[in-house]
Amino acid sequence: MRRTARQLADGREIIYFDSAETAPERTAEDLRELDGAPTAPEMRRDPLTGEWIAMAAHRQSRTYKPPADLCPLCPSEPGKPSEIPEPDYEVAVFENRFPSFARPVADPAESVTGVLDTDPLVRRAPARGRCEVVCFTSEHRSAFAELSPRQARTVVDAWADRTAELAELDGVEQVFCFENRGEEIGVTLHHPHGQIYAYPFVTPRTNQLLRNAEEYRRAHGGHVLGDVLAAERSSGRRVIRESRYWTVFVPPAARWPVELMVVPNRRVPDLPALTDEERDDLAAVYLDTLRRLDRLHDRPLPYIAAWQQAPVRSGRDLSWLHLNLFSVLRSPDKLKYLAGSESGMGVWISDVTPEQVAERLRAVSGTAHPSETG
């Protein structure tokens, strides 16, 4: 893989990932007139839960559902400059123009660390970190599920590259790679893309997983996800696909109408720790999984795909890399809304059993990409 780092007009970094060394050189200049990088947003600590909340008011002005011919993630054309200066690309990653977490601070006076309104209960600090956009393909009307295995592998390598580099930034405690797909999820840019957040803290979900893993190890001596994985592979009732290196299954206590876990068969803390063979296999397994999901209701499935990786400096011996993939679509024309119990109390109520979902997903196939059959 060839990696080329460049700069956009306002100083943000853009990185091109090409699977072949023979790909065109990435030398195009960003000729737009842009303001400088934004001030780091603020974050405040909820004194009741201990969780940090980012306050990114500047995101109100971010791009919202532009027409396809003005998509900021498509390659630039004469008279139509975009966030990608090149006329074509394979995979591109760049710093988000409207980040929830950012490293630069334009005005030192805004770099306030302390308490809110002299209230010692509410701590505040700059939301330092980094947010990146990952463009999976230059084709606007495509989707991750339509990539070839080679293209998907390039995305996997880009995730791993960015995870390793962002983890080296001062103050970053966790790196999160994810994709939101579909307007039902809240997507406002339809070009196939995902995002990467470099957080200045360990996220609440990760803290919960680590606490539970530690309690389980103390009580049983093993890793809770490792034992769940072994049980799922042994039973097979909820398994969608098994390969040499990966297993895809519906969690036995799934919350969402459609929910899957994609888990490596050996414990690794994060994406950079995967071998070449595991990355190749992941590309194939993930494509098969996404194609099955799109055939579940005979329509593109809205989903969130969220990589759970180890924190940078803590809990790495308790972490087991995995992907959570879930959808709000409970039937071809009905959504699951998070109502009182889920939103108010965090107690989930499911309308379908994991076994039913697994059976339906096993019954559909992940039809191959045209380039894989010709």
Hey, which residues are catalytic here?
A: 193
Q: Residue 267 — φ and ψ, nearest 5°?
A: -75, 120
Give the Cα separation of 292 and 299 in Å (integer): 11
Give the Cα separation of 121 and 131 in Å (integer): 28
User: Measuring CA to CA, which residue among 264, 268, 262, 271 is closest to residue 160?
Assistant: 271
Alpha helices in the chain, H assignment, sequence order: 149-166, 204-220, 224-235, 276-296, 354-363, 370-373
Q: Residue 231 — φ and ψ, nearest 5°?
A: -65, -40
Token pair for 38: 């934004």
Give the Cα separation of 253 and 250 in Å (integer): 8
Name the strands in the sheet holding 42-45, side by side, starting at the edge strand that comes first in the sequence: 52-55, 42-45, 119-126, 114-116
For 327-345, the three-class secondary structure string (H helix, E strand, C coil) is ECEEECCEECCCCHHHHHH
Give the Cα separation of 249 and 251 in Å (integer): 6
Q: How many CB atoms lie within 10 A of CB 173?
A: 17
Token pair for 362: 């096993």
Residues in the chain: 374
Query: Helix, strand, or coil here: 363?
Result: helix
Give the Cα separation of 95 and 7 in Å (integer): 10
What is the DSSP-derived secondary structure letter of residue 345? I
